[in-house]
Chain A
């Protein structure tokens, strides 16, 4: 019996399904973490990074009030 014969008998069919569930769980975690209340201000600040090409966002003037307390 070759490798594929052994693997065929090993009952691996379940693993893709387990993988799928793990994936969905991790994904749900990421979604929840992104939309948590506590992160709003921090992420909004991050969204402004592209607007100034030369100054890191936390060094900018005027953005202070938005920084996470």
Chain B
């Protein structure tokens, strides 16, 4: 036993900072959420400004909620609990500060780019490449600081909460890097190297696992620390928590494809995703029960303590959403739920109930400790927050579940004569507008709760002592790991007459190796990383490399330069937030939208734009469906063409000019990705001008205005091209097809 004792103090300054940021950005994220909820119920709230349309603000809301609100909460929670679980001050105060300020800088730059249409247009990974690089840098800083702390720990065993944090740090890094591999086409413009099916696969591998490792594992980690602290008793079963951890790490990573049922994704991949999702039921509920049973015999405390109330409801929502997630991954359920508000309700029961309430419980528990006031400013206010928040969530999700199921059923309803019962899409929208208003009410209640929390913590902060006094702890440093498990082989062999090989077998069978690497942070991390990477590779490689999975279609050709530019407008406006480009092979869909989508149709789509929610109709077969003039009128003011439409107008497309010189570098970037761009590689601008002129003349011929060189022309070029290639004759070998871009050898 070492007699040398070290003294140390924890760094709570960084925790105070992250808690403040959590509350600030939480209020912003939820405020934007309320605004876009109002926009859906009352389209005039889009204000006819390019910066405030739903398509641009919705990514701001999701990114702020996930990365700013939940992100800062996670950092606060991790930094406070890790120091105490490891009995060591954070590795470097400077890195902590760099982490904090770097992360806030990223959030600010997100807020300054997304409303301006600077986006990759891939859900939850919208931020453009310079910000992606900054995220990677800050994450590395976080990782060094975190692992550095583990390395200098004074507690031998690494507590399970830290395991969850380790999984988060490693996996988020992997997800972020592999999902953001792009080719740069300008200072604020990049194209995903993946196209179509592969891009969809990567994106949902990322999207799904971001939910798993950004919104689930860190929150479970904090549950395993803060719940025992708040209840003042150990977790119900520590062994169950270990099982919980490993099953999540092993199973979660495989489940991503369940976001892509009945799409152009190969059948086996989506079935695999479904199976693994269903398997997730067990560990998730195991985790929930473990959390709730921790409070056995302490339920009287729950009645008195708002912190525990938030935790109990938060954990219950974890159970509910992890029950619902696998349910939604079952193909037949998914065929109804997908593209409807059901998904939105599911996500919000998780985000508001689980992430939100765990965060609030955490913040209320932390506030009197980090500000050293002994008590929270007002327990009553926290109680009020709890009730208004809970009722707000219920308003929100009940209304939106109803809206989702209603609209889903309306989409697939046929009348007696076998025709669509609601052929007009907008009918299915107006039906659910009342629920959208109920959602606004629920969202406002939740937002009010958020402000109560911010006020309460602010007042607690005002009661802080003049100077913080951090207690000094004492503990011996960890020496070499000489646990009882490591009897030297020869000694043991001599004593028991055991052969070294037999000893090794016994050593393995008794799983002493596991005990050792549970204690070795580095080895442990490598194993977690290996589990995640191997599973991901096995899941991803076949789609990338096995040709039969994406049959090519000879008539599918690259976009013309002007169409590509028009597509970039589609991306910048965030059209994917409301419109899918993926017609599933169901009669209800082919009747409504046209021929179902084939994997081979998307081979030039960098990035894919399948979307995940149909607030408006699918657009994959929009090409040629309407006249140019219809699109002109529709984009200027949708209600002129579709009465009761909730789409915002895009008058700025009639003012902004096409940036012709910007087209060539974009075509070049695409060519670099292997898109066979033929002569467009040298004359993209010229070709774009010619096509724009042609469309301009066609619009005038239809009796429309002269829209020379306006953005709207490029957008129409793209929309009229969408989904039309499979009906064309394939180009012949010499390249003398209708498409001048196709003149390149495959």
Contact = CB atoms under 8 A, between A and B. Distances in A.
Genuine A/B complex: yes
Interface of A: 3-5, 7-8, 12-13, 15-16, 19-20, 23, 26-27, 29-36, 38-40, 42-51, 53-59, 68
Given A30-B514, A50-B84, A56-B87, A3 B545 contact: yes
Nearest to B485: A68
Contacts of B84: 50, 53-54
Contact of B544 (A4, A27, A29, A44): A4
A48 B541 contact: no
B285 interface: no
B234 interface: yes
Lowest 5 A-B CB distances belong to which pairs?
A: A47-B238, A7-B545, A19-B538, A54-B473, A8-B547
Contact of A50 (B161, B250, B510): B161
Among the interface residues B155, B237, B475, which one has the most CB atoms of the partner chain A within 10 A? B155
A59 B347 CA distance: 44
Given A7-B545, A12-B542, A38-B510, A47 B234 contact: yes
A7 B272 CA distance: 21
B229 A50 contact: yes
B592 interface: no
B95 interface: no
Interface stretch (B53-61, B66-74, B241-249, B348-356): B241-249
B256 to A, nearest CB: 14
B229 A46 contact: no
A34 B100 CA distance: 37
Contact of B511 (A15, A33, A57): A33
Contacts of B241: 47
Contacts of B541: 12, 15
12 contacts: A4-B547, A7-B546, A16-B542, A23-B531, A23-B534, A27-B247, A27-B250, A35-B243, A49-B157, A50-B229, A54-B473, A56-B476
A31 B547 CA distance: 38
Interface of B, helix, strand, loop or mixed by DSSP: helix
B535 A59 contact: no
B545 A59 contact: no
Nearest to A1: B547
Interface in B215-241: 224-225, 228-229, 232-235, 237-239, 241
B542 A36 contact: no
Given A7-B545, A19-B534, A36-B511, A30 B246 contact: yes
B250 A23 contact: yes
A26 B246 CA distance: 10
Contacts of B242: 30, 34, 43
A42 to B, nearest CB: 8
Nearest to A19: B538
Nearest to B514: A33
Given A12-B545, A34-B243, A46 B85 contact: no
B159 A46 contact: yes
Contact of A23 (B243, B535, B544, B548): B535
B545 A4 contact: yes
Given A8-B545, A34-B246, A36-B511, 7 more contacts: A23-B250, A26-B250, A34-B239, A34-B242, A44-B238, A49-B85, A50-B159
Interface in B64-98: 81, 84-85, 87
Nearest to A55: B475
Given A34-B242, A50-B225, A56 B548 contact: no
Contact of A56 (B228, B475, B534): B475
B87 A68 contact: no
B154 interface: yes
Contact of B159 (A31, A38, A49): A49
A20 B538 CA distance: 9
B159 to A, nearest CB: 4
Contacts of A13: 542, 546
Nearest to B540: A16
Contact of A5 (B160, B484, B534, B547): B547
B234 A57 contact: no
B156 A15 contact: no
A8 B535 CA distance: 20
Given A27-B250, A56-B154, A56-B156, A43 B238 contact: yes
Contact of B156 (A27, A54, A55, A58): A58
B568 interface: no
A44 B548 CA distance: 52
B239 A35 contact: yes
A32 B484 CA distance: 21
Contacts of B476: 56, 59
B471 interface: yes
Contacts of A16: 272, 538-539, 542
Nearest to B225: A50
Contacts of A27: 246-247, 250
A48 to B, nearest CB: 5
Nearest to B484: A68
Among the interface residues B10, B246, B474, B534, which one has the most CB atoms of the partner chain A within 10 A? B246
Interface in B241-279: 241-243, 246-247, 250, 272
A54 B539 contact: no
A15 B157 contact: no
Contact of B471 (A12, A19, A54): A54
B234 A51 contact: yes
Contacts of B237: 47
A38 to B, nearest CB: 7
